[in-house]
Amino acid sequence: MPGAENDTPERIALGKALFFDTRLSINDQQSCASCHRLGEGQAGVDGLRFFPGAKGELGTRNSPTVLNAGWHKTLFWDGRAKDLADQAKQPILNPVEMAMPSPAYVVEKLAKIPEYRAAFARAFPGANPALTYDNLGEAIASFERTLRSESRFDDFLKGDKTALNAQEQDGLAAFLKVNCVRCHDGALLGGELFEKLGKVHPFPYGGDEGRFAVTGRPEDRKVFKVPSLRNVALTGPWFHNGSGETLPDAVRVMGRIQLDVNLTDQEVADIVAFLGALNGKDLDRRK
């Protein structure tokens, strides 16, 4: 992943500790892992439409997965973070999320913990000071670059024709035929483009202005980052506002509003089956 050339075991270990540490929130109860759950079959999301922050307030955007996030060109639904380190620093200071008042406050809090003083020194040798807010972001990014998932679809692309069953292969064919791949392309099947949500017909659930809030450009109204479809079967509810309650509904809506296609029940079922083949093999729930 971009930036991995600077990762070291010490930096990754520090980033992992920070990722799971609730002391990065104002109430000592929220961590990065609260919204981006890992382990025990979790796919880097919380499974909620909106997660309640440190002060009990709900955000307005659904938490995207952190799996494979280091390959994305930008982060967040509106693309306001340029890389993983930039992304890692923002929720900690967001008043509706972890609600820490300033970078200096975070650094001061961590500096009172001897284990962190030592861990930052090991992770950033030669830096003076080593414990900085920018280095916190870099450490979390180092850990997040280890969160990678490879799917059965990758095996299929490498030539294993048995990696996908007949319905999954039918779903891939339908995915290509109706041109889902126009936006969901590349190694991540998405994660590289910005597109207007409701390109052909209006998005039926909510009025979020999307990237317009970042750029102020009228042409960016209702424009969002195209999400990666890797692990999408495990990361519901779907859409930027979590309004997609089931994956078949989300597939059907996207076909209609983005491609002007009314998918048949069989096409929806086949595409959903194919999307399940994009689950990381360690998360694959196929029996």
- pTM (predicted TM-score): 0.95
38-39 and 223-225 beta bridge pairing: unpaired
Range of the domain at 127: 4-144
- What are the average pLDDT values for consecutive 10-residue runs of the chain, which has 287 residues? 94 98 97 94 94 94 96 95 96 98 98 98 97 98 97 97 97 98 96 96 92 97 97 97 97 98 98 98 72
- Residues 139 and 9 reside in one and the same domain: yes
Q: Which of 95, 110, 144 is the last residue of a domain?
A: 144
Final residue in a domain of this structure, among 114, 144, 174: 144
Based on the fold, state whether residues 68 and 94 are members of the same structural domain: yes
- Please spell the DSSP secondary structure of 229-255, one letter per residue: -TTGGGS-SBSTTS-B-SHHHHHHHHH
39: which strand partners? 42
pLDDT recorded at residue 211: 97
Domains contained in the chain, number:
2
Same domain, residue pair 131 and 181: no
**Is there a single domain that holds both residue 156 and residue 270?**
yes
How much is the pLDDT for 30?
Answer: 96
pLDDT at 286: 56
Q: Active-site residue 97, yes or no? A: yes
- Classify the C-alpha dihedral 217-222-223-225 as positive or negative: positive
From 5, 10, 40, 97, active-site residue? 97
